[in-house]
Amino acid sequence: MANQEFFNSLLVEFDDGLYHYTSDLTGTPLLRLKNTVKAAQTLQLGAHPLAIHVTNKDREGICHQLANTNLINWCNP
């Protein structure tokens, strides 16, 4: 697997693992964002090759990366 493929598969792990937080229709978009970032802090990455390298700041950044690539929409889940 090429380097970019490792990262892309990590994004998929986060997207799948955070689905119930990102698609929650209750509350405001800001609340959805906060709850998703909190959930990302404890998301189990299992045997993903990059899991041991992912820091807490990475976990927050990955949430924003998912939004930047339109995989998550805070305002319209």
Per residue in 13-59, pLDDT tens? 999 999 999 999 988 999 999 999 999 999 999 889 999 999 999 99
- Say if residues 40 and 14 touch (Cβ distance below 8 Å): yes
In the chain, count H helices and then E strands.
Answer: 4, 0
Residue type, position 32, single letter: R
Confidence of residue 76 (pLDDT cuts 50, 70, 90): confident
